[in-house]
Amino acid sequence: AQKITQTQPGMFVQEKEAVTLDCTYDTSDPSYGLFWYKQPSSGEMIFLIYQGSYDQQNATEGRYSLNFQKARKSANLVISASQLGDSAMYFCAMRKAAGNKLTFGGGTRVLVKP
């Protein structure tokens, strides 16, 4: 069975600083995908970044980058130059090769301080 662990329930970050959100996963499948989503207080899940298990390079999308360490089974999200609008819940999720079912971690709440 797949499992996603986010060990940081909440964290504060100063505006304009970088922040790293931890995510570790457990799966026996050789092929899988890893996602990060942002959920503001409105509830909508906003897709941030994706990393495939066979991707050789770490994914980047604007201010978001994913630090993928396959051997350690970790997929940490790095947000550079934090903005007040980054305050939200952040979820790490994994999808097996077959189908579109996502398994989510418990989330990390980020609060950006001015």
Partner 1 sequence: KAGVTQTPRYLIKTRGQQVTLSCSPISGHRSVSWYQQTPGQGLQFLFEYFSETQRNKGNFPGRFSGRQFSNSRSEMNVSTLELGDSALYLCASSKREESYNEQFFGPGTRLTVL
Residues 51-70 that bind partner 1 (CB under 8 A): 52
Q: Quick check: 45 binds partner 1 (CB under 8 A)?
A: yes
Q: What DSSP letter does each residue of 25-67 carry, written as one string?
A: EE---SSEEEEEEEE-TT---EEEEEEETT-SS--EETTEEEE
Minimum distance from CB of 81 to partner 1 (Å)?
24
Tokens of 31: 């092929």
15 versus 61: smaller Cβ distance to partner 1: 61
Tokens of 23: 């995510």
- Are 114 and 16 within 8 A, CB to CB? no
10 versus 106: smaller Cβ distance to partner 1: 106
The binding site for partner 1 (CB under 8 A) comprises 33, 35, 37, 42-47, 50, 52, 91, 93, 95, 97-107
